[in-house]
Structure 1
Amino acid sequence: MRFKQAILILIGFSLLSFGLPKNLEKKVNKEITDTFEVENFDLISVIIPSEIEKTLPSRFGEDNLFKIESNKKFIAYAYVSQAPSKTALFDYLVFLDSELVVIKTKVLIYREEYGGEIGSRRWLKQFMGKNQNDDLKYGENIIAISGATISVRSFTDAMNNFLKSLKILHSKNIL
């Protein structure tokens, strides 16, 4: 009987544990190390009250918005999420400074044969400097990529929703 209780407790704790999947965690850690030139850092989950999270255009949870600190000093915020491509989802990362301005965006995992060009640094650079007051528009202030139309529109929509969410979180003094 005690063995069954121990197993149930272990299963319960594993279901309660949050965090990035290992394959994403490795990629995020590498980006943090490369971008901010730090070896030792902490990823601290930013907890958003559920009643506020329900009102946000983007999905937030204990597993995708983090404060990055090194030696107890703030470095940046990191947001990890997914957006749809033609038939699958792709994972992406956004770094923000303390003023909630985009420092960097990165496509972490792209699962399609076509459209992977959205992962190019050159295309992603156009999101640098964007903040909660920006409105991104495909074909106007976000350039199109031939052969990646669905992914470009999807990423643009995802970033717009994220920036709108930041505005709400900032107005509620959460970020």
Structure 2
Amino acid sequence: MILKRFFSLLLIGLSFLLFSFSLPNKLLKKVNKEINSTFEVEDFQLKLIKINDSVNNQLGKKIGEDHLFKIESNSKLIGYAYIDKAPSKTDEFDYLVLLDKNLIIAKTKVLVYREDYGGEIGSKRWLKQFIGKKSSDSLQYEQDIIAISGATISASSMTIAVNQFLHSLEILHINKVL
């Protein structure tokens, strides 16, 4: 009886992990670390936000199936996490945008950078420029966001990606997704 119950719980737990979202484990660890430090919370849950096709079609750039999450602690909303990829010179990089519960950027982070050059976009100092931005902001590379010599393509790409996400927030909010 106890063994049967154990296997049932194990199966439910594994099903939840497999079907809740499909972030690679290494990426998920980095995301969890950033959530811990940004929101100063140890115990939290990432809950996948499903966006139906009619809303996704309104967005300038569609949001993939496993990219947007609610962050809850003790059943209370503490913020949102958005994970995506952006192009660099010859590859792409993974990045994270953390929003507070008011949909204001609390942190941006380059999670995985796959180029030999341009990794400076991962510096905390450069990424701080995005903190405090909200859906009503429109970011221009070399005007609102400082350029980085040697990382022009990646820095511009990160600016464009965050800008597109900020514009999507308004549509998601209007459609009661967030």
Pairwise TM-score range, normalised by the shorter structure: 0.7 to 0.9
The match for 2:92 is 89
Structure 1 residues 102, 17: closer, same or farther in 2, change over 3 A? closer
Match of 2:101 among 79, 98, 115: 98
Confirm whether residue 123 of structure 1 aligns to residue 126 of structure 2: yes
Normalised TM-score (structure 1): 0.87
The match for 2:24 is 21
In structure 2, C-alpha distance between the alignment counterparts of 1:35 and 1:135, rounded to whole Å: 24
Normalised TM-score (structure 2): 0.86
SS at match of 1:44: strand
Match of 1:168 among 158, 167, 171: 171
Number of equivalent positions? 163
Aligned CA-pair RMSD: 1.8
The ranges of structure 1 where at least 4 consecutive aligned residues each deviate by more than 2 angstroms after the TM superposition are 14-19
The match for 2:39 is 36
Q: Give 1:57 shift.
A: 2.1
SS at match of 1:61: coil
Q: Percent identity?
A: 60
Confirm whether residue 70 of structure 1 aligns to residue 70 of structure 2: no
Q: Give 1:22 shift.
A: 1.2
Structure 1 unpaired stretches of 5+: 1-13
Q: Give 1:17 shift.
A: 6.2
- Structure 2 counterpart of 1:57, which letter? G
In structure 2, C-alpha distance between the alignment counterparts of 1:29 and 1:92, rounded to whole Å: 13
Structure 2 unpaired stretches of 5+: 1-16
SS at match of 2:94: strand
